Amino acid sequence: MKLGIFRWLAIVSWLACATVLAAEKDEAPELFAQTERYNIDYTVNADGSFIESREWAVKVLKEQAVEYLKRTSISYSTSIQKADVIAAYTLKADGRRIDVPESNFQVQTNGGKGDGGPAFSDVTTMAVVFPDVEVNDTVVLSYKLTGSKPMFDGHFSTVESFSTSTYYGDVRIKIDAPASLWTQHRAWQLKEVRNEQKADRKVVEWSWQNRNPVKSKRKDWSVYDIEQSPGFAFSTFRDYASIADAYGLRAQPKAAVTPRIQKLADEVAAGKKEPRDIARALYDWVATNITYAGNCIGLGAVVPRDTDFVLDNRMGDCKDHATLLQALLTAKGVTSQQALINAGNSYTLPKVPVVSMVNHVITYIPSLDLYLDSTSSETPFGMLPPNSAGKPVLLVNGYREGTRTPAMPLGSNRQRMTTTLKIQADGSVTAQVDVAVEGMFASASRAGFRNVTDEQRKEMVKNYFQAIGHEASGGIEWDDAKALLDRHRYAAQFEVKDMLPVPGAFPIQPMFFSIGSVMAFAAQASDEVEGQFDTACGSGYSEEEYTYEFAKDLKVLAVPPNLSLSNDTLSYAATYELKDNVLKVRRVLDDRTPGPICTPEFNARYDAFMKKVLSNLKAQVVYGTE
């Protein structure tokens, strides 16, 4: 299945995928604005700190862009950076320049009370509002960020790419670094205009223009390879192992076993003897008791907080989670390592090693060959959330090139739904629905029910049907939703007045909410097939059984045809048996897509298969009166 079925589970694209790739046909996009120039300049110091300067000028082409371009913002790390605006103005179409007045700058800082520093974020955002912006005007901003400390001592790295569906009149990138620093760089679709060393400095410079932008028809951004776009990478790291080492140098000492850690580990894992049972208990505690907060690896935020701070606040970011869990595991004799991955939609890393491409920290237990992501408070032990699965891994103190987190195991995501319905002569329906789910379906089910109050539960059935225009009564029950387990069950009983027309017809589909229904898989055939790019994907299984008991005054006139389909990764079987006014239906869809990435060719075959399934699902039961 395409991982679009799990979008609500937090697979998030980068800024609506800020970098858009070329379409299959060279069709020009509708432009509301165009970037006349964009200059980027890095001056790197010997310790890895740097000055970043940027200047851009954007011309307004249509009224729709005026409100958007009136305002922009600059964000930076207050503790180690200083921001200076060099120029900010509106350049009118007649040549007049209107500088942004001081009153049009709004600065918002995350800080502590009094002399205390901020606990989780020191980001300052400076908003700039340009005056008197109209169509054909150009807004211009030039600013400088001066860093006082490097992210990692003696190191600097950056990566950036550009959209081919955006007009760029002229782009210039320059990086000026000390000759004493070992560096490497790589550019894609950019022109190198300078690469020289003078005295104790070396400079590389690229240029790019995109004056004939191409409209992108891409819809699915679940997989993104930054090297497919115009862009560049620059780094002082020789390889990704060096990034893991640099992170571990300051992170590992934070995972020390203190008396407080030892006491907590003993309490949480009390009575557990086997390493797996110990690890499960400690993982569950961290995942459910330490709230996620703050950024993961980013400028000024690459050193975990002390475990005492995290425990005092019951809050921390990904590296805090990984460090605390590592300390607790160590206290109980279970060796673990921290692991750096990309939590976005990148399943490959640039050839030039760049720190920002590994923006998330998780835990690895070698003896169990098991990865854990305790920042996901909904993911059961032994599983990874979709955005952490199938990704390149930088193991701290154990880097092995080519290592990846495991994809979601085949057959692990399953739903079995049984529905019994009695259809009255007036079209009213009484029904019983039982649903058993496993894997990510269970994780999602538990998350949905976990915080429902008793009062909300009592109204749930009524509200569900009321939202689709029906009057209903009934109740719903479910297994305890608080535990982080990979199985869950819920059941509903209800009566819906005048639900069906008499005579009439209806498609066979879930009568109540269903996380992994056959239709949820087949409906993906309605999506536009991505013809040029890979997509994220995984496996799933859905089994549905329906028993329809029609009142004796009703007569079933037609039922959907039986259907059996299969290929090397997909199978679907549907049977419809009518006997004595009772219709029994069984549908089974087994999606054995290996994942985590599917090619355009695979997606085309998947789509063709699911179109046949969808046609069967749309077929209706037709009935009338005697």
Proportion of the chain above pLDDT 70, given as a percent: 93
Using one digit for the tens of pLDDT, what is the confidence trace for 380-408? 999 999 999 999 999 998 899 999 999 99
Domain boundaries, given as residue ranges, for the chain: 3-24+32-237, 242-395, 414-625
145 CB-near residues (< 8 Å, 6+ apart): 51, 52, 53, 74, 76, 81, 82, 83, 84
CATH fold of the domain at 414-625: Jelly Rolls (2.60.120)
51 forms beta bridges with: 43, 146
pLDDT band at 40 (very low <50, low <70, confident <90, very high): very high
Q: How many CB atoms lie within 10 A of CB 329?
A: 25
d(CA 438, CA 270): 28
Using one digit for the tens of pLDDT, what is the confidence trace for 432-441? 999 999 999 9
pLDDT value at residue 211: 96
The CATH number given to 242-395 is: 3.10.620.30
Q: Which CATH class is domain 3-24+32-237?
A: mainly beta
Q: Is the dihedral of CA 456, 457, 458, 464 positive or negative?
A: positive
Token look-up 């399934």 returns: 613
pLDDT value at residue 8: 28
Mean pLDDT over all residues of the chain? 92
Using one digit for the tens of pLDDT, what is the confidence trace for 496-522? 999 999 999 999 999 999 999 999 999
- Range from 9-23, 102-116, 171-185, 349-363 carrying the lowest mean pLDDT: 9-23
**pLDDT over 60 at 5, yes or no:** no
**pLDDT over 80 at 576, yes or no:** yes
Q: What is the mean pLDDT of residues 2-8?
A: 43
Q: What is the mean pLDDT of residues 30-49?
A: 96
Strand arrangement, sheet containing 191-198: 97-99, 81-91, 138-147, 50-60, 33-44, 168-178, 201-210, 191-198
pTM score of the predicted model: 0.90
